[in-house]
Structure 1
Amino acid sequence: MTNNDAALTVAKTETKNTQLETVVVLGHQVNQIGKKLSAAEGTVGSADIENRPVLRTGEILEFVPGMVVTQHSGSGKANQYFLRGFNLDHGTDFNSSIDGMPINMRTHGHGQGYTDLNFIIPELIGSIDYRKGAYYAEVGDFSGAGAAAFKLKNRLDKNLLAFTGGENNYGRLLGAGEVELTQGRLLLGAERQVSDGPWTSLNEDIDKTAVNARYVNPLTDGNFTLTIMGYENSWNSPDQIPARAVEQGIIDEYGSLNTTNGGESSRFSLSSQWNNEFWKANAYAIHSDLQLIADFTYFLDDPVNGDQYKQEDERNIYGGAVSHHWESEWLDKPVTNIVGGEFRYDDIGKVGLYKTKVRETISTVREDSVNETSGGIFAQSTISVTDKFSAHLGGRYDYFTVDVNSNINENSGEASQGKFSLKAGATYLFSDSLEGFINAGQGFHSNDARGATLTVDPVSLEPANAVELIVPSKGAEIGVRLFDQQRFNISTSLWYLESESELIFIGDAGHNEASRASKRTGAEIASYFWFDSSWNLDVELAWTRARFAENTQEEGKYVDGSVPFVASTGISYGGNNKGWQGSLRYRYFGARVLESFDQIKANSTSTVNLGIGYRWEKTTVELEIHNLLDSDEHDIDYYYASRLPGEPEEGVEDLHYHPAEPRTVRAKIEYRF
């Protein structure tokens, strides 16, 4: 069992006469007192993940306390993410990685920071390390709200075959196994998933395949891994719909106004890692493709052909990182140090936006090829001033350079920018079970490279202003963590986050859109209780106040899309031993602000999920019921103008929403050997 398997099997031994059952410690049951820099850090283990039913793969990010994961379109594209008052869209301001490989996509056809998690097989995740806030020198781009680092398993307890079937022709076949070689071992995994979805106007026709192959071997005095990952998916999109279309009986709540929307996506990667007590190094190569066809305004911009459009993104990504850890002394005080550097090169062969009709291209709004390069160096030291008090100081410098070749010559060009970010904090150990934290730091997210070289609007060809490549942010936090090995793990924090003008490139339109500077404050509580080896309870609460820093006559002060309150709680029974097991979970996210005057809000959303099963020595059967109460909720809501046939040319301002899927029942059988 390796240190990245934080699901942490404590013991499994055999003698001639006895065999002890596996004792599994969930990630939240690991004592982190004295091991983290803030109260907003944590580790999720594989056992945590396996014990929680998820409707979509992207929901694994909801293990980050306060995170909401939802969807406004087809299941094959990246989810929508909400955290700390941010509508993160598909990933901006939240850094995601897997074994050192970046998941966020820069200068992406569908949006800056695009984070698609569908290529990950959840059963192969060893752990998730999450960090909220911009207080960590190792994390660079997309770091304003926080980060999550996925780590794949280096060892499987058992080989695994599983099949899940459910309503709407849902089927998922999973296989995973481990082969011992003369030198090292090979881990293999594959997933096949199909589904039509609950939609009345179209079959979603999800056709997903994901494969993993991982070689693990000790090398010199460290551990070496070589991993190949492959993923392909295609789907039809049940996009968000205008409320008036349902009210007028044009479609029902699960219908679609344009049934030709959809997409195709693929991702292939080769990555390697080597680490020992003092050094970490990784390198990767990624190939990614996306074609996405959508229509959110119908006949507002083009009354004849309609407003359907296609976004394309095709790229190769190359990069790596290295870091060195060591212990030293300063003024006779022990000091822990880390220094490192990272490099990333995005070779974007095509990133484009096109007008389409029934998936056929009518015209090109904008098409570019982009070379985007970044490098970063960082250092951080933590000094133990006393046995109870420690302080840390760190910083990093990032440099970006981009070269854009556009079909509109005026928008071709080069740009570059650097950014230094400072991080600092302190911890105080009140007792062996109670620790306090204070942190402050600067973060940033990169902007779309096309926005940095923009001179004319790609639609009107009127003059347009370019934007900076880097949007800085800064924040601070105080918090405490209380831990009792036998009973609970509780952390709470108060935080502040300030972002400068959030100038972003709008992939749906092909131009820049500027928002004002913003300030966010909030409070969070994450609490986990275990009553014995079988019963566990978790309660996660997050409050946020998000406001623009300046008022204008034309716009209000409320940040569009921010979620003021999020609650998640669940109780689980069982584990990896034989017998009954189950979980019951409740998730709530409050009424969202849909426009800056706070006059129009989306309703709050509540969801209850149930999982129940029975485990024998090798076989497990499970029943999952998502949206147990069959509540009539919305996954997401927007407020904007669209135009249906016969409506005024300027369109109609209306609520547009994507309904949550109705009660969904799935059954699973699993065989481990």
Structure 2
Amino acid sequence: MLGSTACYLALALQPQLAAAHEPLGQSADEIIVYGRALDKIGEAKTASEGTVGYSDFEDRPLSRSGELVEVIPGAVATQHSGEGKANQYFLRGFNLDHGTDFSASVDGVPVNLRTHGHGQGYLDLNFVIPELVERVDYRKGPYSAQDGDFSSAGSARYQTRDELDENFIELTGGEFDYFRGVVGVSQKLSDTTSLLLGGEFQSYDGPWVLDQDLEKFNGLAKLIHIGSKSRSELTATYYESEWTATDQVPLRAVESNMIDRFGFIDDDLGGDTQRASLAFQTSIYENDGSETDINLYFVDYDLSLFSNFTYFLNDPVNGDEFEQLDSRQYFGGSVKHSRNLASKLDFRTGVEFRQDNINDVGLFNTADRNRLSTVRRDDVTERSGALWGELEYSLTETFRVNGGLRGDYFEADVDAVSLPQNSGESDDTLVSPSLGLAWQVRPELELYANYGQGFHSNDVRGTTISVDPVSLEDVEQVPLLVKSEGQEVGLRFEKGPFRASLAAFYLELDSELVFVGDAGTTEANDASERLGVEGSLFWLPTDWLVLDLGGAYTDANFVGVGPDDKIPGAVESVLSGGALMKFDRLAVNARLRHFGSAPLIEDNSVRSEPTTLVNLSAHYDIQNITFGLELLNAFDAEDSDISYLFESQLSSEASPIEDIHFHPVEPRQVRASIRYRF
């Protein structure tokens, strides 16, 4: 039966959910809870928010950690520069680059990095060990006062496990010298205290002509204490990675047989990164039902990244290779309090603080990974604080109204080491309201209407800049905070083992951050608007079959720029789905991921090709051993993970050529695993 092999979605932090809702899929001795099967009617504030639990993705074939974002319906994670670098994300018609306008936290620690050496809002989830993730709670759009910077398109909160059902060690091997080992151990230290330990090592050359030489290590330690009226956890993580990258390559070089489809132009690309964190969380429960949550964190982070987008366009002798550097420590915390003010009135409020000490962020011209000159080098301190509050009132048993208000204050000091004219101070304040209605038309059907404002911050170096560091010409400064405004209507249907949601949304952004090929970074651009629709289905037709499907279509445009108003890289359509079959010992999973064509230039004259991938997996249990087999890119699609259009110049060319530059998806490959549970 299903219950003999499926893992739990732990509900230790949600006893009210466990009591109020009978879980789906129940055997005589086990309760199986899929996060996407949890009842949301009467609790959710929008049609597009949701929860994903470990049972939803434990048997899902994942080629890399960043694909954990794809458990969110409508989200896509791609890669174009080696697996040690943050993924490229797409959601609701946004080319989110490496995290702009999509925020994520892990165990309460914000992951997005502002004023980052590579890109604003840089979101690297490679330090997450998928087997240790318990749940993912996500929201889309700027409709919650609890979501701040980088959350206009959406947000995700990853929570790791408190303890494991069984300790395990797993080894995986595959083609192209793929190897991964992961271990997880949890131990009761007393009746009230437990310890979780996890570790991961991965090495991988990949299908590239130039070996990737990836070496990655992850570690996690989590101490949990449960008191009579409190719960506390102390979590430490460490991550390091080193890799050689095959970046996107010009289409003309492949079509002329100058290089293979998996070939390279510059063999010095790639980098190394490290991340260490320490976080403390505690929740205090009062007799009146109120709850106070306290969160503190400290993160130490470093990245050195080598790229070359234009080859020999700017420097015909040494080439256009460059290094992006980021070294920082950031720390902060939050306090959240929730209580019932009356029988039908719930109140939540919170305060947040964060400071980034970015002691070295820079851009350097390089050759063979040796620095030739400094383009820009800075020492930056960036601070922010926020205060928010939310009220929810039940006008009737079937009609709820909620409202929120958030205030943010940012300030920064920029010491432009390489060009003192660009030093300075900046600050900004923004107030973001939100309002929502929820009407339960029938027990199985609820309708929603939402309005909200949000924002993303800009790189603070752009708020104090006076002269371009290359041309030394005067340049305009950008605002520190950029407002977004959105509306959404939708519905949620829940009946028996069937779940469905549908939402239509409109989102305006005062300034779009877009990718600039010749600089290898993003820059502030014109205002934009997006109109879209998305839906998701989740169904357990039998006790051995789980089906899910999600799709979205978005029309994204710049505002007030004339007919050439398309946003480069804004994927218009996304479709994902899967089927999971689970029996006593066997689990079989099939996953489809499709993201459609996107404009590569504002006049829409050049577009990317759509990408469709199918991944398959099977797992078989024999006592305390599980054998696994994954077939990635089962139909060996020769599609692209990412495509850009910009000018570049090869060493054999006399002048620049505008061309599509693409990074191919990896070919079909097989990976086998063995897990021992103890």
TM over 0.5: yes
Q: What are the superposed Cα offsets for residues 589-619 of structure 1, whole Å, 9 maximum, x if unpaired? A: 1111100001100111110100012123311
Q: What one-letter code is carried by the residue in structure 1 that aligns with 2:233? A: T
Say which SS state the counterpart of residue 138 (structure 2) adopts. strand
| 1:292 alignment partner in structure 2 | 305
Q: What are the superposed Cα offsets for residues 330-365 of structure 1, whole Å, 9 maximum, x if unpaired? A: xxx610100110000000010000000010110100
| 1:586 alignment partner in structure 2 | 592
| 1:14 alignment partner in structure 2 | none
| 2:389 alignment partner in structure 1 | 379
Matches within 5 A, 1:506-585: 509=519, 513-552=523-562, 556-574=564-582, 578-585=584-591
| 1:427 alignment partner in structure 2 | 438
Structure 1 residue 282 and structure 2 residue 295: aligned? yes
Do the aligned residues in 2 keep the contact of 1:504 with 1:512 (CA within 8 Å)? yes
| 2:328 alignment partner in structure 1 | 315
CA distance in 2, matches of 1:21, 1:253: 53
Structure 1 residue 670 and structure 2 residue 675: aligned? yes
Q: What one-letter code is carried by the residue in structure 2 that aligns with 1:197? A: G
Q: 2:214 aligns with which of 197, 206, 217?
A: 206
CA distance in 2, matches of 1:441, 1:416: 23
| 2:404 alignment partner in structure 1 | 394
The alpha-carbon deviation at position 311 of structure 1 amounts to 0.4
CA distance in 2, matches of 1:506, 1:245: 21
| 1:448 alignment partner in structure 2 | 459
CA distance in 1, matches of 2:119, 2:76: 19
The alpha-carbon deviation at position 23 of structure 1 amounts to 3.5
Say which SS state the counterpart of residue 630 (structure 2) adopts. strand
Say which SS state the counterpart of residue 344 (structure 2) adopts. strand
Structure 1 residue 603 and structure 2 residue 609: aligned? yes
Do the aligned residues in 2 keep the contact of 1:391 with 1:427 (CA within 8 Å)? yes
CA distance in 2, matches of 1:253, 1:280: 51
- CA 1:119–1:618 in 2, change beyond 3 Å: closer, same or farther? same
Matches within 5 A, 1:72-111: 72-111=80-119
Structure 1 residue 113 and structure 2 residue 126: aligned? no
Matches within 5 A, 1:78-477: 78-182=86-190, 184-200=193-209, 202-219=210-227, 221-277=229-285, 278-329=291-342, 334-406=344-416, 407-477=418-488
Do the aligned residues in 1 keep the contact of 2:310 with 2:518 (CA within 8 Å)? no
Q: What one-letter code is carried by the residue in structure 1 that aligns with 2:559? A: A
Q: What one-letter code is carried by the residue in structure 1 that aligns with 2:322? A: Y
CA distance in 2, matches of 1:508, 1:365: 14
Say which SS state the counterpart of residue 638 (structure 2) adopts. coil
Q: What one-letter code is carried by the residue in structure 2 that aligns with 1:313? A: D
- CA 1:413–1:504 in 2, change beyond 3 Å: closer, same or farther? farther
The alpha-carbon deviation at position 219 of structure 1 amounts to 3.7
Q: Percent identity at matched positions?
A: 43
| 2:666 alignment partner in structure 1 | 661
The alpha-carbon deviation at position 389 of structure 1 amounts to 0.5
Q: What are the superposed Cα offsets for residues 60-112 of structure 1, whole Å, 9 maximum, x if unpaired? A: 00011111110111111000001111100000001111111110000000100
Say which SS state the counterpart of residue 139 (structure 2) adopts. strand
The alpha-carbon deviation at position 501 of structure 1 amounts to 2.4
The alpha-carbon deviation at position 502 of structure 1 amounts to 2.6
CA distance in 1, matches of 2:512, 2:616: 39
CA distance in 2, matches of 1:427, 1:341: 26
TM-score, normalised with respect to structure 1: 0.95
Q: What one-letter code is carried by the residue in structure 2 that aligns with 1:293? A: F
| 2:71 alignment partner in structure 1 | 63
Count of paired positions: 654
Q: What one-letter code is carried by the residue in structure 1 that aligns with 2:249? A: I
Q: Which one is further off, 538-547 or 498-507?
A: 498-507
Do the aligned residues in 2 keep the contact of 1:556 with 1:597 (CA within 8 Å)? yes
The alpha-carbon deviation at position 4 of structure 1 amounts to 5.1
Q: What are the superposed Cα offsets for residues 246-277 of structure 1, whole Å, 9 maximum, x if unpaired? A: 11111100000111111101100000101134
| 1:15 alignment partner in structure 2 | none
Q: What one-letter code is carried by the residue in structure 2 that aligns with 1:648? A: A
CA distance in 2, matches of 1:368, 1:491: 46
The alpha-carbon deviation at position 206 of structure 1 amounts to 0.5
Q: 1:625 aligns with which of 627, 631, 636?
A: 631
Q: Which one is further off, 175-184 or 461-470?
A: 175-184
Say which SS state the counterpart of residue 24 (structure 1) adopts. coil
The alpha-carbon deviation at position 533 of structure 1 amounts to 2.0
- CA 1:562–1:180 in 2, change beyond 3 Å: closer, same or farther? same
Do the aligned residues in 1 keep the contact of 2:202 with 2:214 (CA within 8 Å)? yes
CA distance in 2, matches of 1:505, 1:598: 16
Say which SS state the counterpart of residue 341 (structure 1) adopts. strand
The alpha-carbon deviation at position 232 of structure 1 amounts to 0.5
- CA 1:361–1:491 in 2, change beyond 3 Å: closer, same or farther? same
The alpha-carbon deviation at position 49 of structure 1 amounts to 2.1
CA distance in 1, matches of 2:302, 2:570: 30
Say which SS state the counterpart of residue 522 (structure 1) adopts. strand
Do the aligned residues in 1 keep the contact of 2:517 with 2:646 (CA within 8 Å)? no
| 2:4 alignment partner in structure 1 | none
Do the aligned residues in 1 keep the contact of 2:310 with 2:517 (CA within 8 Å)? no
Q: Which one is further off, 354-363 or 499-508?
A: 499-508
Do the aligned residues in 2 keep the contact of 1:448 with 1:505 (CA within 8 Å)? no
The alpha-carbon deviation at position 402 of structure 1 amounts to 0.2
Do the aligned residues in 1 keep the contact of 2:511 with 2:526 (CA within 8 Å)? yes
| TM superposition outliers: structure 1 runs of 4+ over 4 Å | 503-508
Q: What one-letter code is carried by the residue in structure 2 that aligns with 1:415? A: S
- CA 1:447–1:210 in 2, change beyond 3 Å: closer, same or farther? same
The alpha-carbon deviation at position 152 of structure 1 amounts to 0.8
Do the aligned residues in 2 keep the contact of 1:110 with 1:507 (CA within 8 Å)? no
Do the aligned residues in 2 keep the contact of 1:111 with 1:507 (CA within 8 Å)? no
Q: 1:3 aligns with which of 9, 12, 19?
A: 12
Q: What one-letter code is carried by the residue in structure 1 that aligns with 2:92? A: R
CA distance in 1, matches of 2:554, 2:669: 31
- CA 1:511–1:298 in 2, change beyond 3 Å: closer, same or farther? closer
Give unpaired runs (5+ residues) of structure 1. Answer: 11-18
CA distance in 2, matches of 1:416, 1:190: 41
| 1:615 alignment partner in structure 2 | 621
Q: What one-letter code is carried by the residue in structure 1 that aligns with 2:675? A: E
- CA 1:281–1:275 in 2, change beyond 3 Å: closer, same or farther? same
CA distance in 1, matches of 2:477, 2:393: 43
CA distance in 1, matches of 2:146, 2:185: 33
TM-score, normalised with respect to structure 2: 0.94
Say which SS state the counterpart of residue 48 (structure 1) adopts. helix
- CA 1:127–1:378 in 2, change beyond 3 Å: closer, same or farther? same
Say which SS state the counterpart of residue 23 (structure 1) adopts. coil
Say which SS state the counterpart of residue 542 (structure 2) adopts. coil
Do the aligned residues in 1 keep the contact of 2:579 with 2:589 (CA within 8 Å)? yes
The alpha-carbon deviation at position 646 of structure 1 amounts to 2.9
Do the aligned residues in 2 keep the contact of 1:457 with 1:511 (CA within 8 Å)? no
CA distance in 1, matches of 2:292, 2:143: 22
Do the aligned residues in 1 keep the contact of 2:11 with 2:18 (CA within 8 Å)? no
Do the aligned residues in 1 keep the contact of 2:274 with 2:302 (CA within 8 Å)? yes
CA distance in 2, matches of 1:516, 1:586: 34
CA distance in 2, matches of 1:230, 1:581: 32
Do the aligned residues in 1 keep the contact of 2:383 with 2:411 (CA within 8 Å)? yes
